[in-house]
Amino acid sequence: MSNTHKIPSMPLEGLPRSHAHSKTHRRHAWFGLVSSVLLAASLTACGSSVELDDVPVEDRSASAVSPLTQGGGAGTSAVDPRGVSGVEVTSDGALQPDKMERIVYFDYDSFVVKPEFSAALEAHAKLLNANRSRRVALEGHTDERGGREYNLALGQKRGEAVRRALSLLGVSEAQMEAVSFGEEKPAVVGFDEAAFAKNRRVELTYR
């Protein structure tokens, strides 16, 4: 007779637990998926609820203060206005060379360029030769003595005299234009010799 005892079969308790754990895991995964979808939809809605055209834009250009007008401080420009020089802006917007004599004066009833203006004309010739795109108008003027037609012709001759002097210094003819205003634009209003002397001139105006 055998001493072996038969162990009664018993249901494995691990199966139901495994099955319950699996259902719980699927439920959590489902909730996670649903939550992700809802979050993505919420972010999409927030990102598209405002059109770019609806964003208010504040124009502060009118009230902004240029840093060049400030007295200094952290907000000033990197460009020091004290170091900006060399040009003068005229009413027509053209840039005129600074620290260069731009007026040639003449004797009464004369269109001869005097030797004292040779250095000034050489400086202008150097500038024009180095910048072939620059243009200059040679504006001839007279004092008020003499007839209008005569003064227009005299002003033209003065402008042409300066043009020839610059041409001899190598300036291209295409860069220069001689014009005459006669007595129409006096630099100084007056009827004495001091005023007349200031009005007998050619002005070099860059364009």
- Is the CB of residue 90 less than 8 Å from the CB of residue 137? no
- In tens, the pLDDT along 141-187 reads 999 999 999 999 999 999 999 999 999 999 999 999 999 999 999 99
pLDDT band at 99 (very low <50, low <70, confident <90, very high): confident
Phi-psi region of 92 (alpha: psi -120 to 50; beta: other; left: phi over 0): alpha
As given in the structure block, the two tokens for residue 60 are 């502060």
pLDDT band at 70 (very low <50, low <70, confident <90, very high): very low
The arithmetic mean of pLDDT across residues 14-30, rounded, is 52
- Looking at residue 116, its pLDDT comes to 97
pLDDT band at 54 (very low <50, low <70, confident <90, very high): very low
- Looking at residue 29, its pLDDT comes to 57
- Sketch the domain layout of the chain as residue ranges: 85-206
Is residue 50 packed enough to be buried (19+ CB in 10 Å), middle (13-18) or exposed (0-12)?
exposed
Weakest-pLDDT range from 75-84, 96-105, 183-192: 75-84
Predicted TM-score (pTM) of this structure: 0.56
- Is the CB of residue 195 less than 8 Å from the CB of residue 189? yes
- For the chain, the average pLDDT equals 72
Of the candidates 189, 182, 194, the one whose C-alpha atom is nearest the C-alpha of residue 141 is 182
Is residue 95 pLDDT above 50, yes or no?
Answer: yes
Q: Report d(CA 158, CA 138) in Å as an integer.
A: 9
- Looking at residue 22, its pLDDT comes to 53
Distances 84 to 61, 80, 99 between C-alpha atoms, Å = 23, 7, 13
User: Which distant-in-sequence residues (6+ apart) come within 8 Å of 171 by Cβ?
Assistant: 124, 125, 128, 129
CATH class of this structure's domain 85-206: alpha beta
Of the candidates 200, 202, 204, 203, the one whose C-alpha atom is nearest the C-alpha of residue 110 is 200
The arithmetic mean of pLDDT across residues 67-89, rounded, is 35
pLDDT band at 25 (very low <50, low <70, confident <90, very high): low
pLDDT band at 98 (very low <50, low <70, confident <90, very high): confident
How many C-alpha atoms does 105 have within 13 Å on its Cβ side? Answer: 12
Report the sign of the C-alpha dihedral through residues 14, 15, 20, 24, in that order: positive
